[in-house]
Amino acid sequence: MAVLSVNVNKIAVLRNSRGGAEPDVVTAAKTCIAAGARGITVHPRPDQRHIRPADVRALAPLCVGGVEFNIEGNGFAPPRGDYPGLLALVRETRPAQCTLVPDGDAQITSDHGFDLRADAQRLKPLIADLKAAGARVSLFVDAGCADIERAAEIGADRIEIYTGPYAHAFARGDHARELAACADTGRRAQSAGLGVNAGHDLNQANLGSFCAAIPFLAEVSIGHALIGEALYAGLAPTVRAYLKILAR
């Protein structure tokens, strides 16, 4: 059964829109863990639009006893203001996993994976530094990535398949091609010795089909849809609903 790692960025978005401390990301993470989530994901950005470095530090101690902390981000983005840089945060908070994502300030959300042909050589020393800090390293990649084997060659432990195109196609009722591309990418990664994660726009409607196509999936990171659904059903019941899907 794939691990559910709940991304709590959207809790921070709501908090930051008003100022102050509510809703509280630590309380939200505790609720998710109590409901059965085995991971908490954060994606701090240099512009601090949602999760802030102080949140990363506050959340890290919660992830013990089989609950993994996953920090996502762009390892090449320089420090800015209170943001010390991704590697510095990893060294300080010691997450189980660091997921490298090629994002920038102009992106509303992550919308593409690494070009491993172009990015491999600059990723290699960063991956080594993150692993020296004790983190498993996952690379965010597009379904159909032609050079997926290079992720293993440069030291990555896992890939995370960007599932946005699959989710959008599922909503249109025409997802067979995108799902096949995800499954093929997962199989090639597995053959190269890589673990396979997935995330972005996965929800209760499309998750079951995705997991059935990639039965060896190690982890799904879900935030936007889960938090949105929790507005109607409650956070703990929504986490449990996702866990039931994964258990099938």
The C-alpha angle with vertex 13 and arms to 12 and 15, in degrees rounded to 5, equals 60
Q: How far apart are CA 82 and CA 53, in angstroms?
A: 7
Options 43, 68, 178, 229, the catalytic residue: 43
- Is residue 224 part of the annotated active site? The answer reads no
H-state helical runs in the chain = 9-18, 25-34, 53-59, 86-93, 116-132, 149-153, 164-172, 176-191, 207-213, 224-233, 235-247
**Three-state secondary structure string covering 98-148:** EEECCCCCCCCCCCCCCCHHHHHHHHHHHHHHHHHCCCEEEEEEECCCCCC
Residue 175: active-site member: no
CB 114 within 8 A of CB 75: no
d(CA 181, CA 184): 5
Catalytic residue chosen out of the listed positions 50, 68, 178, 200: 200
For residue 190, give the DSSP letter.
H
Q: Which of 50, 68, 72, 160 is catalytic?
A: 72
Question: Which residues are the active-site residues?
Answer: 43, 72, 200
